[in-house]
Structure 1
């Protein structure tokens, strides 16, 4: 998996965790992807910002600062699916 794809996976999970803080499965998965980013790509996420119609992820890699942008609709796809199918993801 590429760095770009791994960061998109992390972002999608991050958005779910932000909207559903009680979703432990999403939190564990997000933390796992963060570990993969760190171990496989030497990347640490610094900040996520929503800008117009995209999300910007600021991160460090090999001591340098970088920013990667992701389309808002693509980034929010997992969260949208969960919200459209609450019976499959309701943990109460």
Structure 2
């Protein structure tokens, strides 16, 4: 994992959770468990499987960094929701709701 992401991991976690709070109820309904547990599964997938592969593209000075790190929390959400039988379309609907 690039040093930038390692040094900013708590900030990234907080920012990314902010995106998913908008669909908190839907995440609970789809997973059948409290949001805090679903969030930890999503963050765990993100941190373990995605974050270590991100290239450094400028950090806080470049808007692309936030776009990259933010977009991939939705990938992690979709991967976790698959475990609960949620379709790609169902995950996509939650992504749209979170952005709206």
Q: Shared fold (TM-score greater than 0.5)?
A: no
Bigger share in helix: 2
Which structure is higher in RCO with an 8 Å CA cutoff and minimum separation 6? 2
Q: TM-score, normalised by structure 1?
A: 0.33
Q: TM-score, normalised by structure 2?
A: 0.31
